[in-house]
Structure 1
Amino acid sequence: MLPEKTENRPVYVIGHQNPDTDAICSAIGNAEFLRTHGEPGAVAARCGEMTLRTSWVLEKAGVPEPILIHDVTPTAGTICRRDVISVSPDDTFLTAYRRMTENSLQTIPVIDADYNLHGLLRYFDLLSLLMPLNMTEMNVRSVFSSLSNIATTIDGKCLTGESLSEEETQNILLVGASSEPSVRTRLANYRRKGIIRDLIVICGDRPNVQLYAVEHGVRALVTTSGAFPSLDIIETAQTTGTCILSTPWDTASVGQLIRCSRKVREQVQKDYTVFPENMPLPELRQAAVKRKQALFPVMSIKTNKIIGVLSKTDLVDPPRTRVALVDHNEFSQAVKGVEEAEIVEVMDHHRLGTQLSTRDPIRFLNEPVGSTSTLVARRFYHRNVEPSQAVAVCLCAGILSDTLNLTSPTAARADREMLEWLTGIAKIDAKKFTEEFFATGSLLRSKTEPSVIIQADRKTFTEYGHKISISQIEEIGMFGLEDVQEGLVRELRKLVEKEGLKLACLLVTDIVTHDSMLLAVGDEEALENIEYERLGPNLFSATDVVSRKKQLFPAISRALKTL
């Protein structure tokens, strides 16, 4: 049996693609809150690479990076049953039969001690061990097994003292229930054919038949119903090399049980389909429906050993990955596969998207504040619980970065209240922390590749039926923008072509002057409708604009509305 799979499935607290500091820090904070409020398995996660500034925050706070998850689509590995009922290749028919009937199984995997899969055993296949397809007299009487397995199966006690052989051989069963002359004649015939040592004689308390069997030197004598041969017969058997087994079972039962002593390796099915643990649910359903196979082993992609099993019914309504979304509420911005996940809650401060839907009611908090970290901090505050100092540092960073130290037009009273509360717990100075934060990891000054700059903090939206992309970076001054402007425009054009966008924009915000420069590529009519001063074909001056959510997006929305 494989190790059991835990019933407590984790909740992955995760922000949007191309995560900014608020997405990462609110995930860390909310995961800590959930772990102490009903979700002990809550884990902070991310679905993209972190920025240098976010990495600086986590290093300063002493917090490990959230785990990286690219896809939350249920897979064979997450769905499969790991408490696998199995048999080994050396288990007997009886062991397999009992295990399958006790657990109401029609198919069972055959696995060795190292979890190597040898095949599948079907209930129907067990019949072949009881009754051969080629119905000759010799085939019906023959059983391929070892004396050791036979003794175990019939609860037999060896009376002749020798160690029972585990070597599997062909055995011929002879029930000594006919007349004594008839039994003697049949034994003589087997001796003439040279197969007397293949014979296993089964009889009850019939001393003469017992003696005939051991005198002829059969392989084994099985005395049924608890019968014990005389000492003379046992000594004769020791001389002729005949093993004597005494069993409490009656003669008719022993004949059937011996047939059940065969090892299942004889009937293991080798023609079967397995699924790798990383196969996603949609592919599993397509593959399973085409096959008549009832049970599908799931294999580790690293070791190629079995880790669980699946049936077709497991794919009807499988357990889904549990996620708590922070800093976004639109599927287009979420981790891949979120449509197949179980969303347990959403916490955000952006506009409501049109794609989000769930099968069950969930906790959903969406408020017009400057940062999702503010909402997370308030959860602690309302419960009269303080976050750890490390998490308090992270939540401060989320608020300070998203509100530009409360100077952004998105900043609300709640942001100010929570930041004041958190800085006392974190033991930091907000102004100094903000200066150090934005001085770290300048994408323009470090001459970062244009493609990396575009993807650093990018969100996609659908507005009036048009798909748009808006990226944003914050800088101390615009030094270096002119040097990479041409490369940035090229990357925006690639994005428009690749994703079929109406517009692709990059907002470069100066956190000192609270002004921005906007690079935009796409539909010319839409570009003409942008209300900011146009300095060039793709460059706009966005004076007093610092917020993507509250200032830039509404302006882009107005530009698209007139198309």
Structure 2
Amino acid sequence: MSVPESDPIFVIGHRNPDADAICSAIGYAAFLRASRGSDARAACCGEMNTRTSWVLDYAKVDAPKLIMDVRPTAVTMCRKNVITARREDTCLSVHRKMLAHGFRSLPVVDEEGCIVGMPSLQELAQLFLPSEASDEDANRYVRTSEANIVAALDGSFPNGREALQEVETRVLMVAGSSMGTTQSRMKRFPHSSVMVLVGDRPDVQEMAIRNGVDCLIITGGFQVDDAIMALARHENVPIIYTRYDTASAAQLVRFSRPIADALHDGFLRFAAKTPLKEILAQTHDSHQPLFPVVDDDTGKLLGVFSKSDLVDVPRAKIVLVDHNEFAQAVTGADEAEILEVIDHHRLSGNLRTKEPVRFINEPVGSTSTIVAMMFRLQKLEPDRATAVCLCAGLISDTLNLTSPTTTGTDREILPWLAGIAGIDVAKFTSEFFSAGSMLRDKPAAAALESDRKEFEENAWRLSISQIEELGLDEFWKQEKALREALGNVVRLRGVHFACVLVTDITRHDSILLTAGSERVIGAIEYPEIEPGVFELKGVVSRKKQLFPYLSRVVAKLTAPA
């Protein structure tokens, strides 16, 4: 997911999303599109439960996009339109591309589009300079082809055939000395590998051809006479014409080698999902001018970035609904651009933003209620599908207006939404809660995670899950598995106390199963019907009833060791 200016705004609920988190995200994204023309899209950061899936099927609404992480990564910040080179391209053509586009480096890819090198302008410039090799002839050797030489010299090949593409090691020799000196130098190498650069000197031209050199490069815009051309064709010695002077031609021939010869593997590259923080750490002391970003699985090049691109990195634009703390938010929310927060829970946690944001927190029964209120305030009406979703979020969080969290606003909003949705509330509610038993349809651990939140009170870390069932038969069948799953939450999540509130929505009572600190469990004053299992008559709300009660319990205890 890249995040330039034109990218969408994602409206996203909390982790382990319930119906209200999903439905309010769908509703608020629709509101933003209708009221502001924003490219707003609903998203979620966890698996939907069975009842929420039933609602979306009923409403004929696509499931929100699953986004588990909104941190800036290599792929979200890199430049995607990348000019590349191939291994067979010459060093000269790569150098010219860099100069033409103002680049200091250029990625080289293979036939599959995978990165094989990142030559820099500085590295290519070294090819113009002689090496410090002890062998004085080492700098004469050039791996190149006839075709590459012709291209580098912007030359012509008047030999009655095409220039060959095969790359071979050749010896570069400039015939700028006397005939004797030139012959003496040629004797040090196999003649068939020597490229002779010469200007308007027919005697040297003839000598080179009769010695069977690899090729004859005629510089300065000169051409050989007919006799020399005939001899060259007879001896099968190709001739190349170029307008460049001998000194310039020698450098260009040296630069006609394939870029593959200048590549090495000692460069930094980043997988697409590498987080920004890791990139900053790794690039801090690097002098590499450009960094490639590759697909995590295939290694194919996706883009590039430079250090200047790290100064103001594009961030995902998100709206948080049905929660207001980073502990419950999608991973990376603290590194994203939070535009708005729409919620109905208590203020808690460490949510901070870099810029002022719209923050709406209303003491109503559901976030879906708030979204519906915003439609009404703007004199807008949601479409039927959106109204169905908002009805479901409201009914789910208020247990069809029977929860103690229910307000007069909820009672006013629900019939308005139901009229737009064209549903019978009683029938819809019955079908919604009958859509699936979390305890019957999912493993115990998954059932706990379907609606689990973590809190910190008086230095105590608490995990509270809630499962709503039509009756408690499935709870008693799954009690042992739930105990084990709660124990794993305590151990793996590092909380001091974990519990699950299993609510019987037909009787409006609950059972509380607990694990963890014996000090907390021992301080619970509700009737204990089995070890660690409590009967909570009339308790149906985690937000309004259970959490405030547990907060009072741990407030009376000394901090955990």
What TM-score does the superposition give when structure 1 sets the normalisation length? Answer: 0.87
Superposed displacement of residue 41, structure 1 = 5.2
Partner of residue 21, structure 1: 19
> Does 2:473 correspond to 1:463?
no
- Which SS does the other structure have where 2:48 is aligned? coil
> Does 2:114 correspond to 1:119?
no
Superposed displacement of residue 322, structure 1 = 3.5
After superposition, residues 440-455 of structure 1 pair within 5 angstroms as 440-444=435-439, 446=440, 449-455=443-449
Q: Deviations over 1:87-121 (max 9, x none)?
A: 22111121222233344544433212321222332
Partner of residue 270, structure 1: 265
| Contact preservation (8 Å) 1:84, 1:308 | yes
Partner of residue 408, structure 1: 403
Q: Deviations over 1:480-505 (max 9, x none)?
A: 44444454344434433444434333
AA at the equivalent of 1:278: K
After superposition, residues 68-83 of structure 1 pair within 5 angstroms as 68-83=66-81
- Which SS does the other structure have where 2:489 is aligned? helix
Superposed displacement of residue 85, structure 1 = 3.9
> Separation in 1 of the partners of 2:39 and 2:295?
24
Q: Deviations over 1:334-386 (max 9, x none)?
A: 22333333323221111111311122222322211211122233344444444
> Separation in 2 of the partners of 1:191 and 1:561?
95
> Does 2:66 correspond to 1:57?
no
| Contact preservation (8 Å) 1:344, 1:363 | yes
- Which SS does the other structure have where 1:144 is aligned? strand
Partner of residue 144, structure 2: 145
> Does 2:296 correspond to 1:301?
yes
Name which of 408, 417, 428 aligns with 1:433: 428
Superposed displacement of residue 314, structure 1 = 5.0
> Separation in 1 of the partners of 2:74 and 2:330?
19
- Which SS does the other structure have where 1:108 is aligned? coil
| Contact preservation (8 Å) 2:3, 2:76 | no
After superposition, residues 115-514 of structure 1 pair within 5 angstroms as 115-130=113-128, 131-134=130-133, 136-178=135-177, 182=178, 184-186=179-181, 188-189=183-184, 195-206=190-201, 210=205, 213-214=208-209, 217-288=212-283, 295-311=290-306, 314=309, 318-444=313-439, 446=440, 449-514=443-508
> Separation in 2 of the partners of 1:348 and 1:240?
88
AA at the equivalent of 1:57: V
**Per the alignment, do residues 558 and 209 of structure 1 end up closer, same or farther by CA in structure 2, a change over 3 Å counting?**
same
Partner of residue 549, structure 1: 543
| Contact preservation (8 Å) 2:35, 2:378 | no
- Which SS does the other structure have where 1:157 is aligned? coil
Identical counterparts, % of pairs? 45
> Separation in 2 of the partners of 1:64 and 1:163?
60
**Per the alignment, do residues 351 and 5 of structure 1 end up closer, same or farther by CA in structure 2, a change over 3 Å counting?**
closer
| Contact preservation (8 Å) 1:527, 1:559 | no
| Contact preservation (8 Å) 2:120, 2:289 | no
- Which SS does the other structure have where 1:158 is aligned? coil
Q: Deviations over 1:8-54 (max 9, x none)?
A: 44443221122111111122223334456668654432222221111
Superposed CA RMSD: 3.2
> Does 2:553 correspond to 1:559?
yes
> Separation in 2 of the partners of 1:222 and 1:500?
76
**Per the alignment, do residues 485 and 202 of structure 1 end up closer, same or farther by CA in structure 2, a change over 3 Å counting?**
closer
> Separation in 1 of the partners of 2:407 and 2:382?
21
Superposed displacement of residue 252, structure 1 = 2.8
Partner of residue 46, structure 2: 48
Superposed displacement of residue 311, structure 1 = 4.8
> Separation in 1 of the partners of 2:408 and 2:54?
27
| Contact preservation (8 Å) 2:3, 2:316 | no
What TM-score does the superposition give when structure 2 sets the normalisation length? Answer: 0.87
Query: Which runs of no fewer than 5 residues in structure 2 stay unpaired?
Result: none
| Contact preservation (8 Å) 1:141, 1:173 | yes
Query: Which runs of no fewer than 5 residues in structure 1 stay unpaired?
Result: none
**Per the alignment, do residues 287 and 344 of structure 1 end up closer, same or farther by CA in structure 2, a change over 3 Å counting?**
same
AA at the equivalent of 1:46: C
| Contact preservation (8 Å) 1:10, 1:42 | yes
**Per the alignment, do residues 409 and 241 of structure 1 end up closer, same or farther by CA in structure 2, a change over 3 Å counting?**
same
- Which SS does the other structure have where 2:365 is aligned? coil
> Separation in 2 of the partners of 1:469 and 1:10?
33
Q: Deviations over 1:306-338 (max 9, x none)?
A: 333455565565433433221111122122333
| Contact preservation (8 Å) 1:187, 1:196 | no
